[in-house]
Structure 1
Amino acid sequence: MSDDDVTSFLEGSRKLQLATINPDGTPHLVTMFHALSEGRIAFWTYAKSQKARNLERDPRVSCLAEAGDEYTELRGVLVYGTARPVGSRDGVLAVGMAIARRMTPGVPDELLLPYVEKTGLKRLAYVVESTKVVSWDHRRLT
């Protein structure tokens, strides 16, 4: 896929699989809702979560978004990178709002904000600085 195709695909995907590295070196793989922040994958999580503890120790991640059921429909984007913490509380809330908007299209911000502000007190947010992007689109094989 082209860079524009990758961005479009990530914009159209509501969730992705996020892999962090456990203390014993094994992958910790979870499904996450995400948003894009200036073209980069952004997500948030509870500060006490395993992924947050993993990222504090080792910020390397892999992020996979995929679609398609039949072989000829398979397409996806795999982003390798480093998860950088969003430093400010306003930044964490901005990521939370972007994700909430994607999860609940059409719901006005004034209804989303109380939830985001409350749950955001216990959350951290990250933006993924990509080091490598791999993509595929089997629809182009035919």
Structure 2
Amino acid sequence: MSIRLTPDEAWAFVEGAHTGILTTLRRDGFPVALPVWFVVLERTVCFTTPPGGKKVARARRDPRASFLVESGRAWTELAAVHLSGRLSVVTDERTVALVGGLFDAKYAAHRLPDERMPAAARAVYRDRVTLRLVPDERILSWDNSRIRLPAAPA
């Protein structure tokens, strides 16, 4: 059996992850990899971020991006899905609202209530821009738990 996930398994793995790593490119071409919360919508990955954030500027300047989710601690547990594609700012209000609802459903229990946030942080996070990664067809994935190991010596 292959350690590679099928496309359906890969997307289920991505959807089930809590945090992923989004990599965008700086103006000088160097990658910037940051942990992000995300939701999956129609086999794309959506993020929200403050409108003045660097992720928005990088996406507008160079849409190439990648996204990684992983799990496991022991080698035999390691699993991951890596997507590469194009990142864009979502302007369609219906999609923005849909993504907002998906974020609320996924992360409501993990958010800090507004009244507990410092005023400066509340101001930064009050407005959000929605970004959407449309991956190319190639999905890089693996699940080491599928490797058949020889029996341990007695």
Same fold flag (TM > 0.5): yes
Query: Which secondary structure does the structure 2 equivalent of 1:104 belong to?
Result: helix
Amino acid aligned to 1:13: A
Among candidates 128, 135, 143, match of residue 130 of structure 1: 135
Query: Which secondary structure does the structure 2 equivalent of 1:48 belong to?
Result: coil
Instruction: Name the larger-Rg structure.
Output: 2
Following the alignment from structure 2 to structure 1, what is the Cα–Cα distance between the partners of residues 55 and 88? 13
Following the alignment from structure 1 to structure 2, what is the Cα–Cα distance between the partners of residues 121 and 59? 25
Contiguous gaps of at least 5 residues in structure 2: 110-122, 149-154
Which structure dedicates a bigger proportion of its chain to strand? 1
Report % sequence identity: 27
Amino acid aligned to 1:83: L
Following the alignment from structure 1 to structure 2, what is the Cα–Cα distance between the partners of residues 100 and 69? 29
Runs of 4+ residues deviating >3 angstroms? 118-121
User: What is the number of equivalent residue pairs in this alignment?
Assistant: 133
Following the alignment from structure 2 to structure 1, what is the Cα–Cα distance between the partners of residues 64 and 49? 16
Contiguous gaps of at least 5 residues in structure 1: 106-117
> Quick one: higher RCO (CA 8 Å, sep 6+), 1 or 2?
2
Following the alignment from structure 1 to structure 2, what is the Cα–Cα distance between the partners of residues 119 and 26? 26
User: Residues 50, 57 of structure 1: CA spacing in aligned structure 2 closer, same or farther, 3 A cutoff?
Assistant: same
User: Residues 34, 17 of structure 1: CA spacing in aligned structure 2 closer, same or farther, 3 A cutoff?
Assistant: same
TM-score calculated relative to the size of structure 2? 0.78
Following the alignment from structure 2 to structure 1, what is the Cα–Cα distance between the partners of residues 78 and 127? 36
- Return the offset for 1:89: 3.4
Amino acid aligned to 2:107: M
Q: Give the root-mean-square deviation of aligned CA atoms.
A: 2.3
User: Residues 120, 49 of structure 1: CA spacing in aligned structure 2 closer, same or farther, 3 A cutoff?
Assistant: closer
Amino acid aligned to 2:56: A
